Amino acid sequence: MHGDIFHLGGNMLFLWVFGDNVEDAMGHLRFLAFYCLCAIGAAMAHGLLLPGSPAPLIGASGAVAGVVAAYLILHPRVKIWALVFAKIPLRLRAQWLLGAWVAMQIVMFVALPEDQVSWAAHLGGIVTGVLLVWPFKRKDQPILDRRVEPPEAAILATDLDRRPWTTGQRNRL
């Protein structure tokens, strides 16, 4: 359930784009636990920051916000395609694009705390995601990855063997 189809679509898009890389960094079961704990953190933030709110808390926005925060911590330098002003396609680093998204969540909570969207839940998911990414990531997964290329999951191993210009090994920066 969600407030509207656009919010649901945005959540699913963010989960699809960022969730698979975060899941690869954690493993399947850890990612499931991480996602559920981000949802719980989001619900707690909504209850603590807006105790008198009569609005029901529905949807997965807080959990998805935690996934976005984890991606930002894990892969800040990866370039992501974005439509700037809904018209101009640009590749921007995650640290700028997702950092701006996090800042927008804070601004919206301050400006419209009692909005139809629970900005408090978004913030709770972000904080929970930031706090839990360290204990939930795999031991060999770096934090604040310095690579500019996409994370491992973005390049399939079978594709490496099909490229005539490679030897099956990935070059790292």
User: In this predicted model, what pLDDT tens digit does every residue of 26-79 receive, in sequence order?
Assistant: 999 999 999 999 999 999 999 999 888 877 787 789 999 999 999 999 999 999
Asked if 2 and 121 touch (Cβ cutoff 8 Å), the reply is no
pTM of the model as a whole: 0.80
The answer to whether residue 168 is domain-embedded is: no
pLDDT of residue 57: 80
In this predicted structure, the answer to whether residue 93 has a pLDDT above a threshold of 60 is: yes
pLDDT of residue 19: 95
The answer to whether residue 152 is domain-embedded is: yes
Asked if 132 and 37 touch (Cβ cutoff 8 Å), the reply is yes
Mean pLDDT, rounded, of the chain: 84
Mean pLDDT, to the nearest integer, of 4-19? Answer: 89
The answer to whether residue 173 is domain-embedded is: no
Asked if 72 and 95 touch (Cβ cutoff 8 Å), the reply is yes
8-state DSSP, 2: -
User: Of 12-26, 122-136, 149-163, which gets the smallest average pLDDT?
Assistant: 149-163
Mean pLDDT, to the nearest integer, of 69-90? Answer: 91
The answer to whether residue 151 is domain-embedded is: yes
Number of structural domains, the chain? 1
For residue 15, give its domain range.
5-162
The answer to whether residue 170 is domain-embedded is: no
pLDDT of residue 157: 47
In this predicted structure, the answer to whether residue 112 has a pLDDT above a threshold of 50 is: yes
Question: 142-151 burial string, b = 16+ CB within 10 Å, else e?
Answer: eeebeeebeb
pLDDT of residue 39: 95
pLDDT tens per residue across span 27-42 = 999 999 999 999 999 9
- The CA distance from 116 to 139, in Å, is 39
The answer to whether residue 101 is domain-embedded is: yes
User: Cα 129 to the chain's mean position, in Å?
Assistant: 9
